[in-house]
Each structure stands twice: as structure tokens, then as C-alpha cells.
């Protein structure tokens, strides 16, 4: 039996407009004060402790996972159980939490199985072995190309034929709430003959979503575009921090390096494909026609509202962008199909980000580079200051939710505060012997 319908209500209190109704049930890794990291599911303002339910035998039946799966500090072991089990498991959780179901009450778990979500500590939901970042929003690619080349040659010749991507750094992906320190690097202004070494003056956010690999394909085995979603466990929010001045000097010919690898930030809750199923939409029509391995059938993108806020150190947060995941020209399925068409092997927990998502209007652009148009149109803040790029002590917050059908399926948020750059004396050549 499948329980994922709009009419289902939970006996667990869920505030109006909560990101986490019973129709969502995202997975994450949490701990309560003094506790150990383990697997939980968000509902309303609570976290359901799956270890407690497992100990009580509420998952008994064929294929029941060992309790160690729910005691793990990552979701990788649970993800490895496979999509067929995930659906059965999710239905069982929905059944236990549905209004009128008394199994947890009879087991004495109506309170002890829950932790207050707002007081819990959250961790990276998966162990990320590899991370790839795509460049899949046409408007974003057009905007950047227009700035650095010209509007008539904004998209490079390959962009409309394949999902462009680069291989990023998994070790510097952090959980929401982790501060980001302004990085140093080589910068070369256009009016200077030589580069200099300095902190970036053009620190930027990138509004992205990312998917987590839930099934391995084995080296040499491509994943077809129409089977790609069987290999995706779920989605998170992703802020791929960028140092634009470092990037513009280093990226030719091999693409981003120091401008990207210093930090990326993800949200703690993994929203499953099943929760997003009602919000499917068709991706943009491909012109020119794509090669057969990138052809998809049916809607393979999602309508998910995306919002970005900047909060100065001593002021309220200000919304600077409102975009939508539907603006991805290349869908997640096409991204994964292209990633593996050469036989690249994906592993459980690998992360693929879709790239900065920009809509058609200036207020829907997904980076400060675009919103301020390379610094020529600074954004005014309520305190009278302006932002061309992100300043020290600013906090960048990204939130997302699907609500086209009147039922909010939220991602929570991903946020990070920017710390000042290290002093020059932190570098070995500046230290006294």
C-alpha cells in the first residue's frame, strides 16, 4: 500500500507551512545534545529516531536491516539497501506516523522516539566519495557568457549539445551552518600587468541543487537517461562558493580550481525522489536536437522554488533572488547519463550538483556575479550599504520548497557565515624562522 497522498495527516503536530509534512519525510544524520550521530527523519519540528523504532521491532519483516544501519553516522548503508526497499520503508514510516495509527503509542514511543529538530546537531548526510558540478542553467550560462564575451557568442559551441561539468573537491563540502573563510589566491585585474596574491574581493554564492547517487553502475557500464532516476536517492540544496576574481585568472584552459575548492555547503536533509514525484515538469525543449543517449521521455525536471537571502552581521536577512529548479536546461537525468556515457563508475554517496540556477528575470539570477552584473549594479541593503559581492560577516541563506499542489515539500535551508581572510602572516613565507 502507498500512503503518499495529500490527504494523509499525521498525529505528530506539523505547523502550517512547515517544510516537513508527512508527505515529505526527508532523511538526515543528527544527534541530540550529548548523543551520537545516527539516522533520522524530519517531520514538523521533530526528528524521528529510526534507531529507536528499529530496537522496538517496528520494522520487522523480510529484509529488515540490521540496527547498525540506523546507528551509522552517514546514510550510505541505508542508501545501499536499494530503491525497492526505500519505498517500502518510506510507506512504513508514513503508516506509523499517520493519524489514527497507535502502534508507536502502544510501544511507548510517542515521545521517546523523537528529538526536537531545532536543538539537534546535524551532520553531512552522506560520505561523499566524489563530487561533480554541472553548468546546466541556460540563463546562467548566457549571462556569464554575455559579461565575459558578448551576447551573440554567450554560449560556447558545445553548451547546447552536452551538459558541461567539472570534477570538484569533495573534502571541502560542509554541512549547513559551517562558516566559510574568505580565501586567498592569485588575482589579476585587467589593468594590471602581473597577478598579485590577495584575499578574494569577489566572493560569491551559487544557488544550486544537488543529487545523491543511490545505486552503483560499475565501471564501463553507462546509465541511460531514462533509467538515471533509478540511480538517484534524493536531493539537497547546494551553495558552491566561488571567488570570481581568482576564477577569471585561473580557469583557462582547465576550468575552476582554487576559486571553487575552498568550500561548498549543503543542506542537512535529503529530500527523496518519491517526495518530489508530484512536482515533475518537462525540461526545456532541446534545440538543436540532442544525441540519442541524452533523449528523455516524460517530465524529468522539478518545479521547486529557490530563494537566496543575505543577512548582514547586525541586520535582518534580505531576499536577493527567487529562482526555480525548473530553469535547469539539462535535467538531473541527462546530467547523470552524460556523466557515465563513457563508462564512469558512480558510487553510493557521490554528489552531483546541477550548477547555478538562474531564471529569466534579473531578480531570479542565481549568483551575485549576475545580480550585480559584475559589480556594476550593486544591491541596496536596508541599512544603507550595498552588495556587489559577499562581504565579511554576511550570512548567505538558501531555502527551497515545492508547493505547486498546495502541499509544501521543503528542503529546510543551507546557510553559512563568511569569516575574514587569514592574515598574511598565516602563510609559511611570511612566518619568522
Give me the active site residues, please. 140
Q: Order of strands, edge to edge, in the sheet holding 318-324?
A: 180-181, 409-419, 395-402, 305-311, 318-324
Determine the Cα–Cα distance for residues 365 and 356; give it in Å rounded to an integer.
9
CB burial of residue 89 (10 Å; 0-12, 13-18, 19+): buried
Amino acid at each position: 500500500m502507498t500512503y503518499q497522498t495529500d490527504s494523509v495527516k499525521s498525529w505528530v503536530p506539523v505547523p502550517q507551512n512547515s517544510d516537513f509534512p508527512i508527505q515529505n519525510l526527508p532523511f538526515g544524520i543528527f544527534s541530540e545534545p550529548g548523543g551520537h550521530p545516527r539516522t533520522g527523519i524530519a517531520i514538523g519540528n521533530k526528528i524521528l529516531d529510526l534507531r529507536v523504532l528499529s530496537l522496538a521491532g517496528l520494522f520487522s519483516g523480510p529484509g529488515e536491516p540490521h540496527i547498525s544501519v540506523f546507528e551509522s553516522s552517514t546514510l550510505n548503508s541505508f542508501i545501499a539497501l536499494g530503491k525497492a526497499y526505500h519505498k517500502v520503508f518510506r510507506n512504513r514510516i508514513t503508516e506509523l506516523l499517520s493519524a489514527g495509527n497507535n502502534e508507536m503509542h502502544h510501544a511507548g514511543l510517542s515521545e521517546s522516539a523523537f528529538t526536537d529538530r531545532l536543538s539537534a546537531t546535524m551532520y553531512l548526510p552522506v560520505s561523499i566519495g566524489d563530487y561533480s558540478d554541472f553548468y546546466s542553467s541556460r540563463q546562467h550560462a548566457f549571462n556569464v557568457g554575455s559579461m565575459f564575451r558578448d551576447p551573440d557568442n554567450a554560449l560556447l559551441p558545445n553548451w547546447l549539445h552536452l551538459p558541461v561539468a567539472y570534477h570538484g573537491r569533495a573534502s571541502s563540502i560542509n554541512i549547513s551552518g559551517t562558516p566559510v573563510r574568505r580565501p586567498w589566491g592569485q588575482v589579476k585585474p585587467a589593468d594590471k600587468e602581473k597577478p598579485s596574491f590577495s584575499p578574494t574581493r569577489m566572493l560569491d554564492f551559487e544557488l544550486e541543487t544537488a543529487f545523491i547517487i543511490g545505486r552503483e553502475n560499475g565501471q564501463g557500464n553507462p546509465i541511460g537517461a531514462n533509467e538515471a532516476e533509478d540511480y538517484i536517492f534524493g536531493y539537497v540544496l547546494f551553495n558552491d562558493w566561488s571567488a570570481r576574481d581568482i576564477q577569471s585568472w585561473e580557469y583557462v584552459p582547465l576550468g575552476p580550481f582554487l576559486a571553487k575548492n575552498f568550500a561548498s555547503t549543503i543542506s542537512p536533509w535529503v529530500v527523496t525522489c518519491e517526495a518530489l514525484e508530484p512536482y515533475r515538469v518537462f525540461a526545456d525543449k532541446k534545440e538543436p536536437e540532442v544525441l540519442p543517449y541524452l533523449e528523455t521521455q516524460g517530465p524529468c525536471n522539478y518545479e521547486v522554488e529557490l530563494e537566496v537571502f543575505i543577512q548582514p552581521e547586525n541586520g535582518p536577512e534580505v531576499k536577493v533572488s527567487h529562482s526555480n529548479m525548473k530553469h535547469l536546461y539539462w535535467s538531473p537525468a541527462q546530467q547523470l547519463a552524460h556523466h557515465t556515457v563513457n563508462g564512469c563508475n558512480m558510487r553510493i554517496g557521490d554528489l552531483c550538483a546541477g550548477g547555478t540556477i538562474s531564471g529569466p528575470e534579473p531578480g531570479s539570477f542565481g549568483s551575485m556575479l549576475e545580480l550585480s552584473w559584475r559589480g556594476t549594479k550593486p544591491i541596496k541593503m536596508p541599512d544603507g550599504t550595498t552588495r556587489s559581492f559577499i562581504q565579511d560577516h554576511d550570512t548567505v541563506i538558501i531555502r527551497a520548497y515545492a508547493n505547486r499542489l498546495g502541499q509544501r515539500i521543503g528542503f529546510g535551508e543551507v546557510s553559512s557565515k563568511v569569516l575574514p581572510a587569514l592574515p598574511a602572516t598565516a602563510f609559511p613565507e611570511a612566518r619568522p624562522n
